[in-house]
């Protein structure tokens, strides 16, 4: 079974994906971490995310084993990730990693939950269940601010909101695999929902 969960930053994709994977005994992949891993490797090697050739070279070296680096969560990494995510050659390299994960989930799990921006549209168009998760920009910025403060990263709401909007615009506006709901995706707006309610709503749609 393959379940895809797409949507903008901090919409609640990761929390929902992890809970569905646990509940259904499926593997979980946060595809954003692959793009973040490319961004982080570039930054660590002193390379410029605007260098499409370097980004593509690095992307070909990134795999599932690169997703535990603490630096992946930094906002600078997120920004670099959005820049490299617009390069077709980067997406091509990471597409192979994601399709391989979906076809051969680790630990012999009977399927996978994958979250990202283009999973239901491009990576796994034949998925069994697709969700497009959204929430208002205000609430998403508030959630991301909380995450940052909990990690001890000093931040302010207006700045988080501005950066998030810039990233959303870039993700929605790019030519290759822009952020968009698949035609057959269930739309789930989590603005007024806590994680339990979002999980219950998604599970009800799957069971139906």
Residues that bind ligand CDP (CB under 6 A): 9-10, 31-32, 35-36, 78, 81-82, 85, 116-119, 167, 171
Spatial CB neighbours of 208, under 8 Å, sequence gap ≥ 6: none
Between β-strands 129-134 and 112-116, what pairing exists: parallel, antiparallel or unpaired?
unpaired
> Cβ closer to ligand CDP: 68 or 208?
68
> Cβ closer to ligand CDP: 167 or 186?
167
Phi, psi of 72, deg, nearest 5: -65, -25
Phi, psi of 116, deg, nearest 5: 170, -140
Q: How far is the CB of 182 from ligand CDP (least distance, A)?
A: 13
By beta-carbon distance, which residue lies closest to ligand CDP? 32
Q: How far is the CB of 5 from ligand CDP (least distance, A)?
A: 10
> Cβ closer to ligand CDP: 25 or 76?
76
Q: Which helix (H) or strand (E) holds 162?
A: helix 157-173
- Tokens encoding 110: 């009977």
Tally the residues of the chain.
208
> Cβ closer to ligand CDP: 25 or 157?
157
Q: How far is the CB of 32 from ligand CDP (least distance, A)?
A: 2
- Tokens encoding 88: 């077709």
Computed on alpha carbons and rounded to an integer, the radius of gyration of the chain in Å comes to 16
Q: How far is the CB of 196 from ligand CDP (least distance, A)?
A: 20
Q: How far is the CB of 9 from ligand CDP (least distance, A)?
A: 3
Helical packing angle, 52-59 and 75-84, nearest 10°: 100
């Amino acid at each position: 079974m393959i379940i895809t969960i797409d949507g903008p930053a901090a919409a609640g994709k990761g929390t929902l994906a992890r809970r569905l994977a646990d509940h259904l005994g499926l593997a979980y992949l946060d595809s954003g971490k692959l793009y973040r891993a490319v961004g982080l490797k570039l930054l660590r090697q002193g390379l410029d995310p605007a260098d499409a050739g370097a980004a593509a070279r690095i992307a070909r070296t990134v795999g599932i084993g690169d997703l535990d680096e603490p630096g992946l969560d930094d906002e600078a990494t997120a920004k670099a990730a959005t820049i490299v995510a617009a390069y077709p050659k980067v997406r091509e390299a990471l597409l192979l990693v994601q399709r391989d994960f979906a076809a051969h989930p680790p630990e012999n799990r009977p399927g996978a939950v994958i979250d990202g921006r283009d999973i239901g549209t491009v990576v796994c168009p034949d998925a069994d269940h697709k969700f497009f998760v959204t929430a208002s920009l205000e609430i998403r910025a508030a959630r991301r601010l909380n995450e940052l403060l909990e990690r001890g990263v000093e931040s302010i709401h207006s700045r988080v909101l501005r950066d998030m909007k810039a990233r959303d615009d870039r993700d929605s506006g790019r030519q290759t695999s822009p952020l968009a709901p698949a035609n057959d995706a269930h739309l789930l707006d989590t603005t007024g929902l806590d994680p339990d309610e979002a999980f219950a709503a998604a599970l009800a749609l799957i069971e139906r």
